[in-house]
Amino acid sequence: MEHRIPVAPGVELWAEERGDPAAPPLLLVMGANASGLVWPEALVDRLARQHRVVRYDHRDTGRSTRAYAVAPYAVRDLATDAVRLLDGLGIDRAHVVGMSMGGTLVQLLLLDHPDRLRSATVLATSALGSGLADVAGDSDLPGPAPHVLGYWASMGEERDPEAELAWRVEHWRLLNGDGVPFDPAEFRALEERVVAHSGSARSPVAHALADPAGIDRGAELAAVRVPTLVVEAPEDPVNPPPHAAHLAAVIGSARLVTIPGMGHALPAAVVEPLADAIAAHTAAVDAEDGPRLP
């Protein structure tokens, strides 16, 4: 089932849900400049066995409103969008899973809207105030690999559709790392679906331009009490170790699991162990938390 949910004046988000509408809700929050379709179908289907799964397009991605050129916004506004999306779908509390920048947004939700979260899972991300979320520039944790930063310099360049597809596939190869096999055909098919879904092959860059103010809040994470799972991607070239261990330690109550070979991508090889880790985490929380729905 697809929806268009208003979240701000002149801004609507595309969302899709699957699974039993009466099951505990689970919201998937994708990373920067990425459509919700980047979540693998196999992962969504696996989680939908026990959840009402919702994935969506951030502003300026997929079928959601292209907003930045008209009304620039901050990264933190994307976290508010997630709350308003839950409101629009009539969901009081949800399990929330965030990847990369989506993990940053989930951390903001943990701080500002803990009452809306049944649990949190973050993967391939860094703690607020470190890595790409290091607004002050004083973290001693490693940043993205130089070869990835160099490739990002060409992100917004004009390319014809075929060249853009090639750029995106190569980008995924770099993000995937060397820990698990990379299949160019798998990621080309993914990006072909994303392009068909959005109706444009133009490279989205709005989130790289969005104001990062207000996300340097790592010290506040120690107060988090929402059950949180931190997934370490040991081959991640964007948020490499020890980012995941640092985040789990900062939160304190978080649990850390490692998906062997995982980088900053979701190829078929990591879907099953990732889905199992998320499903086990949410099932344990639901068993403890009770059946309060939606």
Interhelix angle 161-176/184-198, nearest 10 degrees: 130
The answer to whether the beta carbons of residues 102 and 124 sit under 8 Å apart is no
Q: Is 87 a known active-site residue?
A: no
**Token pair for residue 235?**
């081959």
CA nearest neighbour of 262 among 242, 233, 237: 233
Q: Is 100 a known active-site residue?
A: yes
Per residue, the 3-state secondary structure of the chain, as one string, reads CEEEEEEECCEEEEEEEECCCCCCEEEEECCCCCCHHHCCHHHHHHHCCCCEEEEECCCCCCCCCCCCCCCCCEHHHHHHHHHHHHHHCCCCCEEEEEECHHHHHHHHHHHHCHHHEEEEEEECCCCCCCHHHCCCCCCCCCCCCHHHHHHHCCCCCCCCHHHHHHHHHHHHHHHHCCCCCCCHHHHHHHHHHHHHHHCCCCCCCHHHHCECCCCCCHHHHHHCCCCEEEEECCCCCCCCCCHHHHHHHHHCCCEEEECCCCCCCCCHHHHHHHHHHHHHHHHHHHHHHCCCCC
Choosing from 236, 243, 281, 286, the catalytic residue is: 236
Q: Radius of gyration (Cα) for the chain, nearest Å? A: 18
Q: Is 236 a known active-site residue?
A: yes
Choosing from 51, 243, 264, 281, the catalytic residue is: 264
Choosing from 57, 60, 64, 100, the catalytic residue is: 100
Rounded to whole angstroms, the Cα distance separating 61 from 78 reads 12
* Catalytic residue positions, numbered: 100, 236, 264
